[in-house]
Structure 1
Amino acid sequence: MSVPAAQCPVPPEIEGYLYKMKRKTGINLTGSWNKRWFYVDVKRKEFGYSVSHSQPIMKSSIFLDDITAIVVFDDYCFQVESKGRKFFLKGESKAGAAVWVKTLETYRSQFVAYEKYMASTPIYTPPPPKTADVKSNNGSLGTPSSGPVKTDHAARKTNQRVE
């Protein structure tokens, strides 16, 4: 599905169980996994999870627009990264993991294209309003930089400039 670059992409509607590796897992990635309900909050544009489908309170999340990478490790495991957070995830099946990866990558690529388009498109600023030509006291056209004409009652009668 392709979105015109001038239009901000619509967040995907996806939800389901994924396994999330515990945060305190060591470098060897042999830690334990927690089954969590992951979903995209379309209104808030967040990818996050809750403990279960029946407990919809989001425990942690990443704003979709802040996702910097989706790294695929194998048919089941992938990582969703942002500047401040990483989720190391595993699908319940190859197909399930593939759907999540494809959906998030598609949104990310559309958002990056949108950002590039917006950065390369100049913002329209209307030209300044044209100033009307000002007639000087002698009848010739003056310039706007000649300043305002100050008058008093006597000067009006003689049509002279008062300094």
Structure 2
Amino acid sequence: MKNSKLLLLAMVILPWLTLPFLGKNTFKKYLPSAIFIVTFTKALDFFGEKKKWWRFYKGIPPLDSMDFFNFGPYFVTSLWMLKLTYGKFPLYFISNTILHILFTFVGLKYLKRYKIASIVKMTKLQHLTMSIIRGLVFYGFQSINERKRALFK
């Protein structure tokens, strides 16, 4: 239990240390999309837990373990992904898919081992498919956001 709490703290703190390298303008540009996808993911987490697709273990109160993942690596990685690939959809799709494959087939093992999260009534392929679709929603949201910004300039 002590190791999982240490891992949770590291998961939420370490990614945020990379933000100064992201740049202030990039952060502001992609922040709405990152907030959107983290909120969308949190709603999906609730739904998936009710359907018993996955299980999240206790984190450090008042947050469950998935909150540490969503507000740490997932949030920050979303910003970086857009900075590095936005406007180049094939690169985004390939990079995002590779990250989700690694998470699904490697990362989930560690999340289960450290009692952070595990999939229950879902196959790894179903989880991967859902993650890829969520990535497309994320990119689509940013595209719509960019169009709206261009209209109001």
Q: TM-score, normalised by structure 2?
A: 0.32
Higher helix share: 2
Query: Larger relative CO (CA 8 A, sep 6+): 1 or 2?
Result: 2
Higher strand share: 1
Q: TM-score, normalised by structure 1?
A: 0.30
